[in-house]
Structure 1
Amino acid sequence: MNQLKTFLLLLAVLTSTKTRVVKALRDPLDRPNFVLFFVDDLGYGDLGFTGHPTTSTPNIDKLAWNGKTLTTWYSGCSVCSCSRAALMTGRQYPRTGIREVLGVVDTLGLPLEEVTIAEQLKKVNYTTGIVGKWHLGQRLAYLPSNQGFDYYLGIPYSDDMGNGKETSCSGDRKSEDPQTEEQDKMKGKPRPPRDNDYAAWYLPLVYQEHNRTRIVEQPLDLTKLAQKYNHFATKFIEDNKDDPFFLYFPFSHVHTTSGNNNKWNSMPNKQYASCSFQNRTKRGAFGDALAEVDWMIGNVYETLQCLGLEENTIILFTSDNGPWTPQHYDGGSYGIFSGEYAGYPWTGKASTWEGGIRMPAFAHWKGQIEPFSRTSQTISSMDVFPTFSHLAGVPLPDGIVLDGRDMADILLQENGQSKHDFLFFYGFCNGYWPRTGVAAVRHGPYKAHFCTSPGLGAYERTPTKYDKYPLLFNVEEDPSETFPICDGNTLPENDPDARAAIERILRAYAMEKATFEYGKIPPLPPGPGEGKGHYGVCCNRSTNCSCESLWDDNFQSRLFNVGSAEHHARYHEHLGEENHMKDTV
């Protein structure tokens, strides 16, 4: 029976894609499709292809090995909103006016005057979709539909910025959980929320389609979130197979939730995964969540293969910032980028040590990018904007300062060179808030720190400033930043190359400070239903932003009926697993 089922499934796939393969034989360089995977709080040491011993990421690893590993990819910032502003615009985040992590009732967001990657690609008729965490403003005016995206499904901010819920995986009624009983009692009467806005209490799941917005559920069910994301992503690709598209997938995973620190939130861990991924890996709850990310990525790539699109699609994979190490087992690993010289353990997220800003990354493009290749050329997430613009054949916007550089040569050529002579990293020299000022710079093999501070979780420590000379490391020879060439006090006596590099760095640093222009976010007037205490995402304020889910079979069949059960089955059958995911949405 299983063999017959497999045969019929393959026959159906081959029949349905017969004409599509012909379509995919167009010139791969003619407005290629773009898929951008952006994992939340994932460290360099968290993946199989970067060396973690117990992580289970077979799909990610396979894509990396069959593409080009990018070993020196830097995020635009070491925290969420700022890194996304840099990614979306190709600009240093302070230029955009985004200077901190945006909250759930913030009145600000990425200015509408900024040109995003999606808006850039719309100029040459790309269809654009985003699934996952946006975190560039939760007000309707700032959501993805007003920033160039045709379709959106996701959480507007981090998944620890509100309470979610979990579906029981044991078959028991969830209300039998005493903590959930308490939570159920609190529905409609939650504690006084931040800024008197009840939208700050429950996590929303937002759907947008051409400027039409719906809140699908609030609070959302984190146990089934990946299934919804998977449906959206694979259906988006299938619906847009005949024309160029841009799919931006900023995962909500593997950022931690508020966990069980809150008596109204019954999450057993600060990590979450679907039932079939819980207790699956040797790495615990974090490993389970990461395995679910791997599963979603595998389904996206399998969809591209089935539709004959892999030769017309470039895939980029990276993370927004380093791991949130104070979360212990629920946080990630920065691997070799430990910042040993710092003398404190929190050198990941929210620091400009390598562990906070140097990300795992690869590029995959069948037929264009050499398999099993790698490069140590300096790359920034700000480079995505000019690179996608170049590959799509759309001119860069006039009158805009771009800090990103076209990295197409690095991706497509064996010896492509970085166009970053000096790559500056902003943040932390003025303390925790706001994150402004140059903290460090990468120049050739050297990394210079003008200021150092620990990451998120140790802000009681005073940042260390280096006023005379920068703290200097050769991070090609010393990626752990253990042995400084210059300690900030005296120039190295026996290293003329390092002395010359410091002189160049100081000149470039002075020029950067003298010419850099900080952006401001112009305030927007209140929109419909907005006002003091009413700026958060809320399904219905009369129920204190707690609503029954609109995500039913009818809603799914109209929007995301790509047949993901087939993807579940094929993926787990490939792994030789019979107990694959059956609780599809």
Structure 2
Amino acid sequence: MLRVLSLLLVSMGLCLLMAFQSEKPAAKTPNIVLFFIDDLGYGDLSVNGALGYKTPNLDKMATEGTRFTNFMAAQAVCSASRAALLTGCYPNRLGISGAFGPNAGVGLNPKEETIAELVKAQGYATGIFGKWHLGSDQEFLPLQQGFDEYYGVPYSHDMWPLHPWQERAKYPPLHWIEGNKPVKEIKSLEDASELTPVITEKAISFIKRNKNKPFFLYVPHPLPHVPLAASAKFRGKSQRGIFGDVMMELDWSVGEIMKELKAQGLDNNTLVIFTSDNGPWLNYGDHAGSAGGFREGKGTSFEGGQREPCIMRWPGVIPAGRVSNKLLSTLDVLPTIAKLTGAKLPKEKIDGYDFTALLKGDESQTPRESFLYYYRKNNLEAVRKGDWKLVFAHPGRTYEGSLPGKNGQPGPAPEDHQFPKALYNLARDPSERYDVLEQNPEIVAELEKIADAARDDMGDDLQQKTGKNVREIGRTVKK
């Protein structure tokens, strides 16, 4: 009897041991590195056809990951675009438009939930190094929006007294901000040449200090937004002048941060995303980038203003060397990161879609079927479904018909050009040159229904319509 009992105990022990050994270790949630470049055009990477300089680190990232060629910024301007990325909401849903100036008294409402807040609740360390531009008053700065660390500039570095536009001479001095406090004034272009190397150094330090826990690292580089400035190491190195020098230095920055991930043994468990806030500021001529053949640029709802380069890399998870043409947007980054990290989605309504399955290689998935092109305060200027884009009659900026500036001086870019209603098939006509509205009334009717739903939801100043689901912008609390 004792022998039988002993055999039973041994058998049970072996079974438990085998069961324990067969259990797979819990999958680690990935680190997230998010590069958000300022005023980078679709054609500004050598993998997308840039001439006069190379971006070898980004080209390598593309061969090791996936390029998304139909990736849209939510709006073609700084503050609105950044609000959308971090919240997963169309910026006009949040009451946000344009680019906030210094001491604007408004910002991203602290009640809104950002990517940083969502992943911080999952135990992530969170850091931002670069340009914020979602409110320069202390109650709107990154430490109040879920970030543990911040070192960067509070808004665009052309919002300073040295800008060639005379009215900006009244702007206050521009400072680096550390945490909630200004620490060092940026007084000259020579000072501005430190932007990329200092941000890179801070990002690398953050990785080193948080290598033993999951982290979200947000790197919104202020360049190549004007004024352009490159450090001595890169000045004069390209055949494209100062713009090419700046692009070479930004590529170097990405390479250094990627190198640090490998040095710390984090490379295989890190999702890296590279994209831009809006298209190139074309009236700056030789100090501006390229929209890569798409129409118009920054500050417009044509493809040159909102279609951005996008590369995502995560070895062993995201297929290498792939090109995906599925429609996606910066709006979709938050819900996808939430899914990958196990974070809860925001309590309030968002506009993004989780594209995890597509990210991992399932091209049968179409997470986003339509997209809304809002601009100015709350103008619905166009809607898209699949390859079809319906542009509504609207006043707007145009770069066409005017010579661009040079050497850092802007050329004209009229803001009151009247664009007619038009329909474009982006599969055949990505540069939006051939209006096929009259030939496709059924497509127009389908897109009009999408627009009507959007107007009910978020409003449309062009039709003097107020939306039912628009939230309040953050406003400075008067002391």
The one-letter code sitting in structure 2 at the alignment partner of 1:480 is S
The one-letter code sitting in structure 2 at the alignment partner of 1:276 is K
Q: Find the aligned partners of 1:27 and 1:203 in 2 and give their Cα distance.
A: 49
Q: Find the aligned partners of 2:94 and 2:398 in 1 and give their Cα distance.
A: 23
C-alpha displacement at 1:193, in angstroms?
6.2
The one-letter code sitting in structure 2 at the alignment partner of 1:442 is R
Q: Find the aligned partners of 2:333 and 2:98 in 1 and give their Cα distance.
A: 22
Q: String of CA shifts for 1:31-66, please: whole Å, max 9, x gaps.
A: 200000111000001111111122321101110121
C-alpha RMSD of matched pairs (Å)? 2.0
Q: String of CA shifts for 1:385-433, please: whole Å, max 9, x gaps.
A: 10100100112122x11111111122112414232222111014xxxxx
For 2:279, the equivalent position in structure 1 comes to 322
Q: Find the aligned partners of 2:398 and 2:472 in 1 and give their Cα distance.
A: 26
Shift in CA distance, 454/29, structure 1 to aligned 2, threshold 3 Å: farther
C-alpha displacement at 1:509, in angstroms?
1.1
Q: Find the aligned partners of 1:70 and 1:276 in 2 and give their Cα distance.
A: 31
1:303 is the counterpart of 2:231: no
Task: Please list, as runs of the form range in 1=range in 2, the aligned pairs for 1:201-216 lying within 5 A after superposition.
Answer: 201-208=172-179, 213-216=181-184
Q: Find the aligned partners of 2:26 and 2:134 in 1 and give their Cα distance.
A: 32
Match of 1:464 among 419, 441, 450: 419
1:450 is the counterpart of 2:392: yes
Task: Please list, as runs of the form range in 1=range in 2, the aligned pairs for 1:277-292 lying within 5 A after superposition.
Answer: 277-292=234-249
C-alpha displacement at 1:217, in angstroms?
3.5
For 1:97, the equivalent position in structure 2 comes to 95
For 1:438, the equivalent position in structure 2 comes to 380
C-alpha displacement at 1:222, in angstroms?
1.3
Match of 1:87 among 85, 88, 99: 85
Q: Is the contact made by 2:116 and 2:147 (CA closer than 8 Å) also made in structure 1?
A: yes
For 2:3, the equivalent position in structure 1 comes to none
Shift in CA distance, 522/41, structure 1 to aligned 2, threshold 3 Å: closer
Q: Is the contact made by 2:335 and 2:345 (CA closer than 8 Å) also made in structure 1?
A: yes
For 1:14, the equivalent position in structure 2 comes to none
Match of 2:71 among 55, 58, 73: 73
Q: Is the contact made by 1:29 and 1:312 (CA closer than 8 Å) also made in structure 2?
A: no
C-alpha displacement at 1:455, in angstroms?
4.3
Q: Find the aligned partners of 1:192 and 1:62 in 2 and give their Cα distance.
A: 40
Match of 2:356 among 396, 405, 408: 408
Shift in CA distance, 351/474, structure 1 to aligned 2, threshold 3 Å: same
C-alpha displacement at 1:501, in angstroms?
2.4
SS at match of 1:35: strand
Shift in CA distance, 28/426, structure 1 to aligned 2, threshold 3 Å: farther
Q: Is the contact made by 1:43 and 1:322 (CA closer than 8 Å) also made in structure 2?
A: yes
Q: Which moved more, 1:59-68 or 1:323-332?
A: 59-68
Shift in CA distance, 282/111, structure 1 to aligned 2, threshold 3 Å: same
The one-letter code sitting in structure 1 at the alignment partner of 2:195 is L
SS at match of 1:44: coil
Q: String of CA shifts for 1:358-377, please: whole Å, max 9, x gaps.
A: 00111100111111101000
For 1:123, the equivalent position in structure 2 comes to 121
C-alpha displacement at 1:164, in angstroms?
7.2
What is the percentage of aligned positions where both structures have the same residue?
A: 36
TM-score normalised over the length of structure 2: 0.85
C-alpha displacement at 1:226, in angstroms?
2.1
For 2:432, the equivalent position in structure 1 comes to 481
The one-letter code sitting in structure 2 at the alignment partner of 1:372 is G
Q: Is the contact made by 1:472 and 1:485 (CA closer than 8 Å) also made in structure 2?
A: yes
C-alpha displacement at 1:500, in angstroms?
3.0
Match of 2:329 among 368, 376, 380: 380
1:359 is the counterpart of 2:311: no
The one-letter code sitting in structure 2 at the alignment partner of 1:72 is N
Q: Find the aligned partners of 2:474 and 2:149 in 1 and give their Cα distance.
A: 26
Q: String of CA shifts for 1:509-541, please: whole Å, max 9, x gaps.
A: 1111122233322533235xxxxxxxxxxxxxx
1:520 is the counterpart of 2:472: yes
Q: Which runs of 5+ in 1 are unaligned?
A: 1-25, 166-190, 195-199, 258-270, 340-346, 429-434, 493-497, 528-585
TM-score normalised over the length of structure 1: 0.70
SS at match of 1:315: strand
C-alpha displacement at 1:333, in angstroms?
0.5
C-alpha displacement at 1:71, in angstroms?
0.2
SS at match of 2:475: coil
